[in-house]
Structure 1
Amino acid sequence: MSVSWAESYVGQLRALAGDRTLMFVGARAVLHDSAGRVLLIRRSDNGHWSMPAGAMELGESIADCAVREVREETGLRALRVTAFALYTGPDRTHTNMYGHTYQIFTTAFRVDEWDGDLLRVTDETTDAGWFHPDGFPAPLSASVPETLADLAVFQQTNRLLLK
Structure 2
Amino acid sequence: MPRRDYEDDPGAPEANSLVPAASVVVVGDDGKVLLQRRTDNGMWALPGGKMELGESLAGCGIRETLEETGIRIEITGIVGTCTNPGHVFAYDDGEVRQEFSICLLGRPVGGTIAVSDESTEVAWFTPEETDGLPMVDSIRKRLTDWRAGSPVVR
In the superposition, the TM-score normalised over structure 1's length comes to 0.75
Alignment of 1:23 onto 2:14: no
The verdict on how the C-alpha distance between 1:139 and 1:113 changes in structure 2, with shifts beyond 3 A counting, is closer
Q: Which residue of 2 aligns with 1:123?
A: 117
Partner Cα distance (1:78, 1:50) in 2: 17
Considering Cα pairs closer than 8 Å and 6+ residues apart, tell me whether 1 or 2 has the greater RCO: 2
Contact 1:82 1:112 in 2 (8 A): no
C-alpha displacement of 1:66 = 0.4
Alpha-carbon deviation of 1:57? Answer: 0.8
Which digits, 9 at most, give the CA deviation of each residue in 1:87-112, with x for residues without a partner? Answer: 11312333245542111110001103
Kindly indicate whether residue 119 of structure 2 is the aligned counterpart of residue 101 of structure 1: no
- Deviation of 1:138 (Å): 4.1
Contact kept, 8 Å, 1:26 with 1:107, in 2: the verdict is yes
Structure 2 segments unaligned to the other structure (5+ residues): 2-13
Structure with more of its chain in strand, by fraction = 2
**Pair 1:85 & 2:80 matched:** yes
**Gap runs ≥5 in structure 1:** 6-18
Report Cα offsets for 1:122-161 as digits up to 9, x if no partner. 12211110112332364323233211221233x3x4xx42
Number of residue-to-residue matches in the alignment: 141
Between the two proteins, what is the percent identity of the paired residues? 33
The question of 1:62 aligning with 2:57 is answered yes
The CA distance in 2 between the partners of 1:114 and 1:24, in whole Å, is: 28
TM-score by structure 2 length?
0.79
Query: As a proportion of its length, which structure holds more helix?
Result: 1
* In structure 2, distance between residues paired with 1:43 and 1:122: 9
CA contact 1:80–1:113 (8 Å) conserved in 2:
no
SS at match of 1:78: strand
